[in-house]
Amino acid sequence: MRTPPPSDATGEAPAGLALERPSKTRLKREMHELQRLGQRLAGLPPAQLQRIELPELLREQIEMARRITAREALRRQLQYIGRLMRNADAEAIRARLAVVTGKPEAAL
């Protein structure tokens, strides 16, 4: 059983202790979105991918994903790319992808 968060006599959380944390569903949704963004990057032609500024490790893993033909291996690689994307500036990458592909960000 989970221990309830600490509270004072009024039932309120102490100042500075945030009770609101992202839901598990929201976190999963965000992780899947990062994974889809990585998949879109892996599907770009090499010339377009070079125009997007990416961390070196992320770029290497995207290029590796392009060479993988086994379905399960590709799925695992895309999950790894999604994990790497957590440390990257996804919004900047998404904006640059929109410029490179000529599609608005909403369409990505």
pLDDT tens-place string over residues 27-43: 999 999 999 999 999 99
In whole angstroms, give the CA distance from residue 13 to residue 6: 6
Instruction: Give residue 44's region: left, alpha or beta (phi > 0; psi -120 to 50).
Output: beta
Dihedral in degrees, nearest 10, Cα atoms 95, 76, 31, 17: -130
DSSP 8-state class, residue 37: H
Dump pLDDT digits (tens) for 42-64.
Answer: 999 999 999 999 999 999 999 99
- Banded model confidence at residue 76, pLDDT cuts 50, 70, 90: very high
Q: Which two tokens stand for residue 50?
A: 């070079």
CB 38 within 8 A of CB 78: yes
Q: Name residue, tokens 């009770």.
A: 19
Q: At a CB cut-off of 8 Å and minimum separation 6, what does 13 contact? A: 5, 6, 7, 19
| pTM for this predicted structure | 0.73
> What domains can be seen in the chain, in order of their start residue?
25-107 (1.10.60.30)
CA distance between the termini of the chain: 41
